[in-house]
Amino acid sequence: MAWAENWHKYLLDNCASILQTRTVGKKNTSRLRQKLRVSSGRYQSQLELALEEQGPLVRGSFGTRGRVCGNPGCKCAQGDLHESKYLTATDKGRVRQVHVPAGDEEKVAAGVERYRRFREVRGRLAKLAQEQLELMDQLGRSLLMAYPPDNPLPPAQHSGPPPREGRRGRR
């Protein structure tokens, strides 16, 4: 009879903790699922922006520089410099400037702007993907059942390398 009373007490104690964990987990899982759906919608809208891009994309910065032509009688000799358009980008770790002829200025400026927007969308997609992975991990942990009840196994730990910091301290 003592065995049955102990077993009954054991079941009541452990079932109560399991039910409590599952109830708390259900509220949390519902919120996590909701957050995942919202994040997925934001990801999809950003992906649509990227897919709408028709190109061409031009990598670099487009700008204007003043220059002197070398003619001693020219206005530039007095300080009123001639303007030239340049495309600036890195090439093998070095900054490279390329002169852009007047006939290509609009095309290059538009391509540089499209490239900038494309990279911004790509950055937002990367952040949203990371957010979704973190939410999936949280959802997985919230759905875990502690087993065995008397001495449950711990949840899995991240076994890969630590996450890298973003460039220039951004994250």
Confidence at residue 23, expressed as pLDDT on a 0 to 100 scale: 43
pLDDT at 170 over 80: no
Q: How far apart are CA 137 and CA 61, in angstroms?
A: 39
> Residue 53: what are its φ and ψ, rounded to 5°?
-65, 125
Q: What is the 3-state secondary structure (H, E, C) of 28-46?
A: HHHHHHHHHHHHHHHHHHH
CA atoms of 168 and 161, how far apart (whole Å): 20
Report the pLDDT value the prediction gives residue 27, as an integer from 0 to 100: 67
* pLDDT (0 to 100) of residue 26: 61
Q: How far lies 12's CA from each of 6, 119, 143, in Å?
A: 10, 57, 22
Q: Which residues of 32-45 are buried (b: 16+ CB within 10 A; e: fewer)?
A: beebbeebeebbee
Lowest mean pLDDT among 19-28, 29-38, 145-154, 159-168: 19-28
pLDDT per position as a tens digit, 128-167: 999 999 999 999 888 888 888 888 888 777 666 766 766 5
- pTM here? 0.68
pLDDT for position 121:
97
